Amino acid sequence: MLEDRLLIRQLRRGDQAALRLIYERNKDHMLTVAHNLLLDRSLAEDCLHDVFVDLAVRAAQFRLHSNLKGYLATCIANRARDVLRSKSRQNVSLSAMPEHPANPAAPPAQLIHSEQATRLRAALTELPFEQRQAIVLHLNAKLKFRQIAKQLGLSVNTVQSRYRYGLDKLRSLLKTGAEA
């Protein structure tokens, strides 16, 4: 987008207002992406802030070769992978997921949605990070497979395979969980 390129140009000149505007426009969406990858709110917030601190530090050298939202989503995904590696674990445990207290006054539809969301988060923890990353970047970050492939340095076929295998495993996990 032209507006993103203008903001990046201002950022490269040291304009802190441009960084603040980029952050404000993208923080909620990027936090959702980070949370869906890490399944831990505090780690997701740390990941988001790390990415924006890095952007601020490297502002003078920053070059935007694709869209800004896609770039930031990929940075979030890469940082999330690093966080998980540093914790030397492939999957986040269920205990790390935030608990949502049940609201007895909530309408039945809201309770059903909450239960489905909890089951989906639990199933996501069972996926290998690469599959979860492909699913989250495609569905949450709204990136096309070709954008994900370019940002991650992978082939489009690899990204599509990870996405497809991840969805297949999610379906299987959710079906198994529904039968239990």
63-107 residue pLDDT tens: 887 789 999 999 999 999 999 888 754 343 443 444 444 444 555
Residue 34, pLDDT > 90, answer yes
Residue 111, pLDDT > 70, answer no
Least confident of 64-78, 94-108, 134-148, 163-177: 94-108
127 domain-assigned: yes
Residue 21, domain CATH: 1.10.10.10
| Contacts of 66 by beta carbon, 8 Å cutoff, 6+ apart | 147, 150, 151
Are the CB atoms for 97 and 40 separated by under 8 Å? Answer: yes
Number of domains within the chain: 1
51 domain-assigned: yes
The reply to whether the predicted model has a pTM over 0.85 is: no
Range of the domain at 40: 2-90+109-179
44 domain-assigned: yes
113 domain-assigned: yes
104 domain-assigned: no
Residues 114 and 106: their CA atoms lie apart, in Å, by 10
Residues 42 and 102: their CA atoms lie apart, in Å, by 21
Number of Cβ within 10 Å of residue 157's Cβ equals: 10
86 domain-assigned: yes
95 domain-assigned: no
Tokens of 31: 């936090």
Residue 131, pLDDT > 60, answer yes
Confidence of residue 177 (pLDDT cuts 50, 70, 90): low
Residues 26 and 28: their CA atoms lie apart, in Å, by 6
> Which residue type sits at 9?
R
Which pLDDT score is estimated for 112?
Answer: 63
118 domain-assigned: yes
Which pLDDT score is estimated for 113?
Answer: 62
Residue range 119-128, pLDDT digits in tens: 888 888 899 9
Number of Cβ within 10 Å of residue 52's Cβ equals: 20
Residues 51 and 27: their CA atoms lie apart, in Å, by 11
